[in-house]
Amino acid sequence: MLDEVVERLPAEVLKLFDDVPLVVEDYPSDALCKEMDIKDRDELCGMFRGIAITEPEDEHARKHSNQVLLFREGVLAAAMNEEGKISDDELRRQMRITILHEYGHHFGLDEDELDELGYG
């Protein structure tokens, strides 16, 4: 299903995958949850890790190569309705929103700007 979502992403985003790979993990690590003060790990659907292109590059400050993380557990939780069911369409929608949201951070967009674009 993720392959279907990726195939339908804008060409500009797909071009980024070589330099800013999409990495899928089951859930964020305990250390990441602690660092971000996240109580329930399924609250986090994704994360951009790296330095946005709008920021000056500082190799000494870099901790990770640029990448977008997609967390299965968080995306599934976000796609779940009140009855605890997940439709394929909603799961695809949540994956797309999360991927575009995190690549938006790569371009220096903040949460408010991403909300305005519909990727909040």
Report pLDDT digits (tens) over 17-76. 888 999 999 999 999 999 999 999 999 999 999 888 787 766 655 566 889 999 999 999
Q: Where on the phi/psi map is residue 118: left (φ > 0), alpha (ψ -120 to 50), or beta?
A: left
pTM for the model stands at 0.86
User: Hey, which CATH number is domain 2-116, 3.30.2010.20, 3.40.50.300, 1.10.3720.10, 3.40.190.10?
Assistant: 3.30.2010.20
Which among 75, 65, 83 is positioned nearest to 43, based on CA atoms? Answer: 75
Amino acid in the structure at residue 19: D
Domain boundaries, the chain: 2-116
The DSSP string of 67-91 is: EEEEEHHHHHHHHB-TTS-B-HHHH
How many whole angstroms separate alpha carbon 117 and alpha carbon 13?
15
